[in-house]
């Protein structure tokens, strides 16, 4: 696969951040191993400057947020949020998600990010509340770790679709 095809295929692994695929393409385009590709992408993000990492975190949508209701999520985000039942929130759950989204962004300056596939709404809400107690540095690192998990799950889903 050439660089252009590689970027086209893997640009969406990190939400609205094709720069990750662009940076790893020259060394990853010949890889057949998903775990090696994931490790290269993680290394790329982890070695990016803080502003690039913050932009990556901010590229993620709110969970059970207005973008979801408006149908504005990427296909991957839609599938991930739906797998956790976030498209089936009761009015009370939706209001709780909105309040937590706002409190979280107010405190940290970026959206709450969690690899929600396989989690329940209650588990997500509990994690949301617990992580609101973190300090900025811990939460920044936690958000990046969650983003890497999302990327690994997306890569695995691509591999299983082949």
Closest CA to 42 of 138, 135, 141, 162: 141
Can 4 be counted among the known catalytic residues?
A: no
- In the predicted model, is pLDDT for residue 70 greater than 90? no
Q: Average pLDDT of 97-123?
A: 96
CATH of domain 61-161: 1.10.3330.10
- In the predicted model, is pLDDT for residue 51 greater than 80? yes
The domains of the chain are located at: 3-54, 61-161
In tens, the pLDDT along 137-156 reads 999 999 999 999 999 999 99
Q: What is the pTM of this model?
A: 0.94
């Amino acid at each position: 696969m050439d660089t252009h095809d590689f970027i086209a295929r893997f640009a969406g692994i990190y939400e609205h951040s094709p720069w990750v695929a662009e940076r790893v393409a020259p060394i990853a385009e010949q890889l057949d191993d998903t775990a090696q590709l994931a490790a290269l992408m993680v290394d790329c993000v982890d070695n990016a400057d803080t502003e690039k990492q913050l932009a990556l975190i901010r590229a993620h949508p709110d969970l059970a947020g207005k973008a979801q209701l408006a149908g504005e999520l990427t296909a991957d985000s839609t599938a991930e949020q739906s797998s956790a039942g976030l498209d089936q929130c009761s009015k009370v759950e939706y209001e709780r998600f909105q309040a937590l989204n706002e409190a979280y962004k107010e405190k940290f300056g970026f959206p709450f990010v969690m690899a929600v596939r396989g989690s329940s709404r209650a588990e997500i809400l509990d994690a949301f509340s617990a992580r609101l107690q973190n300090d900025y540095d811990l939460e920044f690192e936690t958000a990046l770790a969650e983003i890497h998990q999302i990327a690994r799950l997306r890569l695995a889903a691509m591999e299983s679709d082949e």
